[in-house]
Amino acid sequence: MKKQILFLLLITSIVTVKAQVSKYYPFPTSNAYWGGENESNDGSNLSVNDYGVLLAGDTTVNGKTYHQLYSAGGVTNSGSYTTYVYAGAFREDTVVRKVYMLVKGVDSLWYDFTLKANDSIGIPPQPGSGTSTGRDYVYSVDSIMIFGNYRMRINIANSKPNPKQILCSIIEGIGGTDGPFGIIAPPVPFEAVSYLLCFRQNTDTVQLNHGYFSYNCYEFGPLGVNTISASVQQFTVYPNPAANEVAITYLLQAGQNKVTMQLFNALGQMLTSNTISNSMGQINENISGLTNGIYYYTLSVNGVIAATSKLVVIH
């Protein structure tokens, strides 16, 4: 009788563990942010670019719901820039554990979480590329702790059957570690790499790689909302809506320097840029030449956007 009880307990334990391991973690559809970094070096110059990818609403194409992604930036080792541009949209079939990306009207399989060790993946080397390794493949499948739970991680390598390099990994509910929503395409460019630095969902953040800069998960926000960070005490645009002229009032925390104020249109194109040398003040700008629409003023401190204010122009 005791043997039967022990046997039943063992079976129950195995089933429970299997159920825990087989749980699938889908991609978020709101309140999520992916921080990325691109690095390249041509032998004489190092170029580093930090940016972010975030969710911005849904769209329906051919009866299927896609979650839109926007790329927001950013800062480089030679300066800063501001952009908020459409980067694509994804959909997920959680039943078959596959993620599809819609880019320029083309829907493609992006991630497949049913892959197993030794399965082929990625794009075959093109003729004349100098490689003869065949497709990338799954080197191993393991798990990684994310927000207190283990998620599947698929590790991708090349040069089968003798891997020289693990290209990247793919994590359930997060995507590729070769950049926010990065895809697998061998070979990795010489002296050029992309990283997924961090992933944030709601209030939880996981650091996946450490970047070039001192901050590793700075969130570059969209230009579509009013935001203000701790380094800026005040940043207002008045009147708003406006027709001919606006007054931009600002107040910075003590010790702030390298401050730039810029004006962008709704497409993220920079229209004006002014360097600010005082910690407080007011700037009057003539906007009579702007067409009716929505614009955004940003205040960047040390190359990072610290405040954003929307402006509505109506003549």
Q: Contact at 8 Å (CB) between 228 and 307?
A: yes
d(CA 155, CA 163): 12
Q: In this structure, what DSSP letter does residue 24 have?
A: -
Number of other residues whose CB lies within 10 A of the CB of residue 91 = 20
Q: In this structure, what DSSP letter does residue 183 have?
A: -
pLDDT in tens, 193-252: 788 999 988 878 999 988 888 666 777 766 666 667 777 888 889 998 999 999 999 988
Q: How far is CA 77 from CA 107, 206, 263, in A?
A: 34, 24, 22
d(CA 209, CA 92): 25
Count Cα atoms within 13 angstroms, Cβ side, for 280. Answer: 5
pLDDT band at 288 (very low <50, low <70, confident <90, very high): very high
Phi–psi pair at 76, nearest 5 degrees: -125, 170
pLDDT of residue 224: 62
Domain boundaries, the chain: 32-207, 227-313
175 pLDDT more than 60: yes
8 pLDDT more than 60: no
pLDDT in tens, 43-94: 778 889 888 898 877 889 999 999 988 888 778 887 766 677 788 899 999 9
**Fold assignment, 227-313:** Immunoglobulin-like (2.60.40)
Instruction: Give the angle 253-255-260 at the CA atoms, nearest 5°.
Output: 75
pLDDT in tens, 14-38: 443 343 447 999 999 988 889 999 8
Q: Is the pTM of this model over 0.75?
A: no
Query: Among candidates 296, 305, 153, 144, which has minimal Cα distance to 215?
Result: 305
pLDDT of residue 16: 39
**Rounded-to-10 torsion of CA 104, 107, 113, 115:** -110
pLDDT in tens, 92-144: 999 999 999 988 888 888 899 999 998 887 554 444 444 444 457 889 999 99
